[in-house]
């Protein structure tokens, strides 16, 4: 059982996917705290319904990113978090937080990294005309959407698909692979060699969307 803290800024659908997998007994994780940098984030209500403690820390109250991250770190340590999960968190984190949780901060990105980094990865992939898009779970380092890749899942994109259809298709993959990556971490099965992340032991049955370990 791994103790985790979750950082959110918006709807919190990946937070909900994690909550649902824990409730179903398929994820050996306990959520110690959910931190939002935005007081109006809908994801806060999801945490409250699940009985997870919530803290709101407005990034605008801090002159420097490092000061904001130090405030996050204080709350995470107070909650006893061993793993930090970025779930739609819209702030770039600094070494203040990264050095405190080396290879213990995960992020879910709605693109097949290293392609389409940054915001609106789904729209960028569709505009570019790629035939396959997807999502990536990776460890966080000091560069944006750059750290070692844990899992990736892919979906097809048709020429007539709407942006909403592509968004929803990728989001469904996110909800599958993020809890899976957390479970591998909880079981101590992730081995990092430079940029390569290996999953030790047997691999569970998954849907066809999972294309890379």
Residues in the chain: 213
CATH class of 110-135+151-213: alpha beta
Per-residue model confidence (pLDDT) at position 213: 38
Per-residue model confidence (pLDDT) at position 212: 45
CA nearest neighbour of 4 among 26, 37, 38, 27: 27
- Report pLDDT digits (tens) over 117-129: 877 788 788 878 8
Average pLDDT over residues 58-84: 98
Per-residue model confidence (pLDDT) at position 182: 98
- Domain range summary for the chain, segments of one domain joined by +: 1-102, 110-135+151-213
Region of 85 please: left (phi>0), alpha (psi -120 to 50) or beta. Answer: beta
CA nearest neighbour of 167 among 111, 88, 208: 111
Average pLDDT over residues 50-77: 98
- Let me know if 146 is a catalytic residue: no
- Report pLDDT digits (tens) over 130-180: 899 999 999 999 988 789 999 999 999 888 888 889 899 999 999 999 999
User: What is the end-to-end Cα distance of the chain in Å, rounded?
Assistant: 22
Average pLDDT over residues 28-48: 98
Task: Please state, in angstroms and as integers, the Cα–Cα distance from residue 160 to each residue in 129, 156, 165, following that order.
Answer: 11, 12, 10
Band the pLDDT of 208: cuts 50, 70, 90.
low
**Same-fold call for 1-102 versus 110-135+151-213:** yes
Distance between CA atoms of 47 and 50, rounded to whole angstroms? 5
Per-residue model confidence (pLDDT) at position 163: 86
Mean residue pLDDT across the chain? 92
Paired with 199 in beta bridges are 190
Task: Please state, in angstroms and as integers, the Cα–Cα distance from residue 147 to each residue in 24, 43, 91, 127, 150, following that order.
Answer: 30, 25, 16, 25, 9
Under a CB-based contact definition with an 8 Å cutoff, are residues 188 and 103 in contact? no
CA nearest neighbour of 17 among 152, 84, 108: 108
Per-residue model confidence (pLDDT) at position 118: 74
What tokens does 57 get?
Answer: 């820390």
Per-residue model confidence (pLDDT) at position 124: 84
Under a CB-based contact definition with an 8 Å cutoff, are residues 31 and 52 in contact? yes
HSE of 94, CA atoms in CB hemisphere, 13 A: 11
Catalytic residue among 109, 138, 167, 175: 109
What residues contact 108, with CB distance under 8 A and at least 6 apart? 14, 86, 87, 88, 135, 136, 137, 174, 177, 178
Q: Which fold has domain 1-102?
A: Rossmann fold (3.40.50)
Which residue, chain included where needed, has tokens 């990105």?
109
């Amino acid at each position: 059982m791994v103790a985790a803290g979750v950082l959110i800024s918006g709807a919190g659908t990946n937070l909900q996917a994690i909550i649902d997998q824990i409730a179903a007994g398929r994820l050996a994780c306990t959520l110690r705290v959910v931190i939002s940098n935005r007081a109006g984030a809908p994801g806060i209500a999801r945490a409250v319904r699940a009985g997870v403690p919530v803290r709101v820390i407005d990034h605008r109250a801090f002159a420097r990113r490092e000061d904001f991250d130090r405030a996050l770190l204080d709350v995470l340590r107070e909650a006893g978090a061993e793993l930090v999960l970025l779930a739609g968190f819209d702030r770039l984190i600094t070494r203040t937080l990264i050095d405190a949780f080396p290879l213990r901060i995960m992020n879910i990105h709605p693109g097949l990294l290293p392609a389409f980094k940054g915001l609106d990865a789904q729209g960028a992939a569709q505009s570019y005309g790629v035939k396959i898009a997807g999502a990536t779970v990776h460890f966080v380092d000091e560069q944006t959407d750059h750290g070692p890749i844990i899992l990736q899942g892919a979906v097809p994109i048709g020429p007539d698909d709407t942006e909403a259809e592509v968004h929803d298709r990728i989001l469904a993959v996110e909800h599958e692979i993020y809890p899976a990556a957390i479970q591998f971490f909880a079981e101590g099965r992730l081995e990092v060699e430079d940029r390569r992340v290996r999953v030790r032991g047997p691999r569970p049955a998954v849907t066809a969307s999972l294309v890379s370990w």
